[in-house]
Structure 1
Amino acid sequence: MTEITVLDPHTGDPATTVRAAGDSEVAAAVGAARSAQPGWGRTPAEERGEALRRMAEALAGAAAELAELNRRETGRPEAEARGGVEAGAATLRQYAELGPLHRGHSLRGDVRAADYTVRRPRGVVAALTPWNDPVAVAAGLIGAALVTGNTVLHKPSERSPGVGVRLGELLSPLLPAGVLTTLSGGADTGRALTADPRVDVLAHVGSTAAGREIARTGAETGVHVIRENGGNDPLLVDAGVDPEWAAEQAALGCFANAGQICTAVERVYLHREVAEDVLDALTARALRRDREDPPQPLVDRAHRAQVHGQVSAAVAAGAQLRAGGGIPDGPGAHYPATVLTGCTSAMALMREETFGPVAPVTVVGSFEEGLSLAAEGRYGLAATVLTPRTDHALQAVAELPVGTVKVNGVFAGAPGGAAQPRGDSGEGYGFGPELLDEMTTASVVHLGAPVTAGAAR
């Protein structure tokens, strides 16, 4: 029997130990999900929505417990972790309402005939979810899949397995047997699940490397793939914006959850007219973050080594440290808020996802230069532009090849919003009403007038 032990990134002490599902257990779970799906798919949509409402209440009732588990496993501050649980409950309630309203389209080709589409569940969904927001992301994929009549096999990240197990214990008993099953484990468990030909959808939120492997599996088997993977999201600060506000936005985008957010700011371009003032204010925020509060750790020491490696390589290539940049003494996996200037596109820090509390800065001579640099790269998740000019905002929307363009707010967005990442950041829609379409197929029906016996011809 294989076990996974996660260390508390604050102290380095063991936080959670769970058993990893082996190949036979994965195969049995897929079989049970396949057997349960027809009955769940025939369940009226309103009843499936009611099940999601019960799940949302169970989630909300366990918010404190799940938040504490999340804090111990990943280092996420308890208040933020609790916010993720509450967001997950809100998402389940949203899909409880949207699911019964999900519908097809109609077209009249003749006064005595009609064409229309019927949405059908795809079947069995494998949902592979990340550690950095383990409840909110899982609730989105699970909720959209269940309310449209699919059954779900959930594999949480091996970096937050306790949260995943507890989530399954809370939600699965509220559904018929086989409708929602949690499978703990690492890469081997994930491969056994994604390679099973009885799975119809692979829904993955996580690293680009894992996403590529899943995409290859989908290409070989024909399974439907939905992916939100890594990003290298830029922040472009235009001339004319308030420097303090711009620094606040940059600090939020780069340092929130220690930079471990899917749409975190990974590279910063500052117009030269505001660059020094923004840099001074951003540096002050970075230093204050680590001086006034115990710094939030990264998820583990292996990830910290990766983040520090990118920072060190950038400094060796000519970048200058304004704050942070060193591994502190003591237990755990802490890393300080870090600000670097003089960064170039040749540096991995500006080309690859760092996923840490790092703000690498390039000063640009014009908005157009910054926009051109922001549009570079193989990722296409999100981008943020801070500008007082409407024409510059519209130019950014037209030219940035990303799924989400955020103007004047790094984490702005309406509830229920969806995005369609591109490039190495993924494929398909995540969240929102559009995710219901991803979880279903459309059958086109042509309904014509019958010709009865003896009818005039």
Structure 2
Amino acid sequence: MTDLSTPPTRPLGALAPQPSPISGEPDLIEVTDPATGELVGRLPVATPEQTDQAVRTARAAEAGWARTPAAQRGAALADMAAALRRRSRELAEVNTRETGRPTEEAEAGVLAGADTLDQYAQLGPVHRGRSLLGEWAATDLMVPEPRGVVVALTPWNDPVAVACGLLGAALVTGNTVVHKPSERCPHLGLLLHHVLVEHLPEGVLNHLVGRGRTGARLAGHPDVDVVAHVGSTATGRAIAAATARTGAKALLENGGNDPLVVDADVDPEWAAQQAALGAFANVGQICTAVERVYVHRGLAQPFLRALTAEADRRTAGPDGHPGRRLAPLVDRAHRDHVHSQVAEALTSGAARCAGGVVPDGPGAYYPATVLADCRPDMRVLREETFGPVAPVRVVDSFDQAMTEAAADRYGLAATVLTGSLRHAQRAWRELPVGTVKVNAVFGGAPGGAAQPRAASGTGFGYGPELLDEMTTTKVVHLGQPVLG
């Protein structure tokens, strides 16, 4: 198992300690195990000077990497994918220690990241422009070119898979990268960097350990061309404001408050299983998790009974401690956020069907929670909870469900469970989100790429279209010279 008690001994120029403005001591990120509360390790935060140096290093390597043949860049990604597979268990164990994600799930995320690198290794070399029909004696082209220096700010909830998507698309199209992973999983980010950077020329992929201040400095840096961010809406909007001042492109996948609509004609137990999967998978810490449930009144009672049973089944651990069969949340601060929304809803009249109580003992555990009698004005329905909470709103019709599901500032994804083709067609046509899923909370064909809307962000964050986001297009007209 990787020793995380001290920073790695390999030279990392961007990771020298930053003195605290108050104490003069190095500024360290300290990570504790969310399952036990024990110290995982400490890593020094990059200084502003080191942050700027990382951008300069990426800029200096840009021309050489852009001139590297696309097939050679793709081969480098394939080598990176193979290295991830060889070290997948090691990466997964570090992920578990820092964020609490079960090791098997964490390893699946690493392998998904490797698959993504392999996909971009194949797609990158065939990413092409267009020829245009101009004059017979001329040649007209639209040619994709790398944008330059890409900053990738990646999250903690699926850290390897998300990072591989952004890094892979940026690198294979000829960009150089400065990557700052979440401060909640800095050791994992550092290990991932070591695994990947071995297969790239010097300066092409750069890594920084930092908090929000480091990300803000990168987002507002005048020599950055793209800022790609997966994380909260508040941070995404700050990035959008910063890039508006510098002219960099902002590529944002931010918060979501995804609705699940349960129509009157479906099996209530099946619908409850879908709701539980969507709300409780990865302890609700998924961008496209089910955050609010609208169920038809005619189905409400059997659906709530079945959903409560699903929550209880996930919560009652063999040790007798409620809330400990599920993995812990990422840390206690996040658990406080989740519980504050639940407590506020209960105070405002919601009924607790399951969970909703902070368990005793160490760690950041929280039980699978089902709330009934929820109203639209409750924060648990209005805001992203990002925890194992299923707030249920009973509605009188599919029309009401659609209206309330659409009345939200986010626009990431939505799910509709229905036996009516007419309702399914209406749902994907009318719901103002980037992804609509009918009769399955998760799933879909590979290669699909959605654009989040409204407060959920902007731009394609994955799929073949991400290669377009990472490139810019130049029009070329080659005419014939007049020779003397």
TM-score after normalising by structure 1: 0.97
- Residue in 1 aligned with 2:9? none
**Which aligned pairs between 1:420-435 and structure 2 lie closer than 5 A?**
420-435=451-466
| Counterpart selection for 1:364 from 369, 377, 395 | 395
Structure 1 residue 140 corresponds to structure 2 residue 171: no
Equivalent position amino acid for 2:211 in 1: G
How big is each residue's C-alpha offset from its partner over 1:367-395, in whole Å with a ceiling of 9 and x where there is no partner? 11101111011100000111111111110
- Residue in 2 aligned with 1:388? 419
Equivalent position amino acid for 1:415 in 2: P
How big is each residue's C-alpha offset from its partner over 1:210-238, in whole Å with a ceiling of 9 and x where there is no partner? 11110110111110000000000000011
Structure 1 residue 259 corresponds to structure 2 residue 284: yes
**Which aligned pairs between 1:76-155 and structure 2 lie closer than 5 A?**
76-155=101-180
Equivalent position amino acid for 1:86 in 2: L
How far apart, in 2, do the equivalents of 1:45 and 1:90 lie? 19
Equivalent position amino acid for 2:184 in 1: R
Number of residues of Structure 1 aligned to a counterpart in Structure 2: 453
| Counterpart selection for 2:260 from 231, 235, 243 | 235
Q: Using the TM superposition, give the Cα deviation of residue 111 of structure 1 relative to its aligned residue in structure 2, in angstroms.
A: 3.5
| Counterpart selection for 1:295 from 326, 329, 343 | 326
- Residue in 2 aligned with 1:31? 56
CA RMSD of aligned residues (A): 1.1
| Counterpart selection for 1:316 from 347, 360, 366 | 347
- Residue in 2 aligned with 1:346? 377
How far apart, in 2, do the equivalents of 1:232 and 1:210 lie? 16
| Counterpart selection for 1:245 from 260, 267, 270 | 270
TM-score after normalising by structure 2: 0.92
- Residue in 1 aligned with 2:338? 307
Identity %: 62
- Residue in 2 aligned with 1:63? 88
How far apart, in 1, do the equivalents of 2:209 and 2:149 lie? 18
Q: Using the TM superposition, give the Cα deviation of residue 359 of structure 1 relative to its aligned residue in structure 2, in angstroms.
A: 0.1
Q: Using the TM superposition, give the Cα deviation of residue 450 of structure 1 relative to its aligned residue in structure 2, in angstroms.
A: 4.3
Structure 1 residue 21 corresponds to structure 2 residue 46: yes
Q: After the TM superposition, which of the residue ranges 295-304 and 134-143 deviates more from structure 2?
A: 295-304
How far apart, in 1, do the equivalents of 2:64 and 2:45 lie? 29
How far apart, in 1, do the equivalents of 2:349 and 2:147 lie? 52
- Residue in 1 aligned with 2:469? 438
How far apart, in 2, do the equivalents of 1:373 and 1:428 lie? 25
How far apart, in 1, do the equivalents of 2:27 and 2:100 lie? 24
CA 1:15–1:108 in 2, change beyond 3 Å: closer, same or farther?
same
- Residue in 1 aligned with 2:364? 333
Q: Using the TM superposition, give the Cα deviation of residue 412 of structure 1 relative to its aligned residue in structure 2, in angstroms.
A: 1.3
Equivalent position amino acid for 1:194 in 2: A
How far apart, in 2, do the equivalents of 1:358 and 1:67 lie? 25
How far apart, in 1, do the equivalents of 2:438 and 2:430 lie? 13
Give the match's secondary structure for 1:2: strand
How far apart, in 1, do the equivalents of 2:143 and 2:41 lie? 45
Equivalent position amino acid for 1:397 in 2: W
- Residue in 1 aligned with 2:99? 74
How far apart, in 2, do the equivalents of 1:111 and 1:413 lie? 45
Structure 1 residue 170 corresponds to structure 2 residue 199: no
- Residue in 2 aligned with 1:269? 294
Give the match's secondary structure for 1:153: strand
How far apart, in 2, do the equivalents of 1:115 and 1:365 lie? 59
Structure 1 residue 51 corresponds to structure 2 residue 76: yes
Q: Using the TM superposition, give the Cα deviation of residue 114 of structure 1 relative to its aligned residue in structure 2, in angstroms.
A: 4.0
- Residue in 2 aligned with 1:216? 241
- Tell me if the contact between 2:424 and 2:438 (Cα under 8 Å) persists in the aligned partners: yes
How far apart, in 2, do the equivalents of 1:246 and 1:2 lie? 49
Q: Using the TM superposition, give the Cα deviation of residue 192 of structure 1 relative to its aligned residue in structure 2, in angstroms.
A: 2.0
How far apart, in 2, do the equivalents of 1:443 and 1:410 lie? 40
- Tell me if the contact between 1:381 and 1:425 (Cα under 8 Å) persists in the aligned partners: yes
How big is each residue's C-alpha offset from its partner over 1:409-439, in whole Å with a ceiling of 9 and x where there is no partner? 1111112221100111001111101100000
- Residue in 1 aligned with 2:27? 2
Unaligned runs of 5+ in 2: 1-25, 319-324
Q: Using the TM superposition, give the Cα deviation of residue 407 of structure 1 relative to its aligned residue in structure 2, in angstroms.
A: 0.9
- Residue in 2 aligned with 1:157? 182
- Tell me if the contact between 1:343 and 1:361 (Cα under 8 Å) persists in the aligned partners: yes
- Tell me if the contact between 2:221 and 2:246 (Cα under 8 Å) persists in the aligned partners: no
| Counterpart selection for 2:386 from 340, 350, 355 | 355
Give the match's secondary structure for 1:405: strand
Equivalent position amino acid for 1:330 in 2: G
Give the match's secondary structure for 1:429: coil
Structure 1 residue 183 corresponds to structure 2 residue 208: yes
| Deviating 4+ runs (over 6 angstroms) | none
Q: Using the TM superposition, give the Cα deviation of residue 447 of structure 1 relative to its aligned residue in structure 2, in angstroms.
A: 3.0
Equivalent position amino acid for 1:423 in 2: A
How big is each residue's C-alpha offset from its partner over 1:74-113, in whole Å with a ceiling of 9 and x where there is no partner? 1111111111000000000000000001011222133433
- Residue in 2 aligned with 1:11? 36
Structure 1 residue 414 corresponds to structure 2 residue 445: yes
Equivalent position amino acid for 2:102 in 1: P
Q: Using the TM superposition, give the Cα deviation of residue 145 of structure 1 relative to its aligned residue in structure 2, in angstroms.
A: 0.1
How big is each residue's C-alpha offset from its partner over 1:164-216, in whole Å with a ceiling of 9 and x where there is no partner? 00000111121111000110110121122222211110000001111111011
How far apart, in 1, do the equivalents of 2:107 and 2:149 lie? 30
How far apart, in 1, do the equivalents of 2:338 and 2:317 lie? 23
- Residue in 1 aligned with 2:310? 285
How far apart, in 1, do the equivalents of 2:311 and 2:289 lie? 15
Equivalent position amino acid for 1:341 in 2: A
- Tell me if the contact between 2:328 and 2:363 (Cα under 8 Å) persists in the aligned partners: yes
Give the match's secondary structure for 1:26: helix
- Residue in 1 aligned with 2:11? none
How far apart, in 2, do the equivalents of 1:323 and 1:351 lie? 20
- Tell me if the contact between 1:16 and 1:161 (Cα under 8 Å) persists in the aligned partners: no
Equivalent position amino acid for 1:395 in 2: R
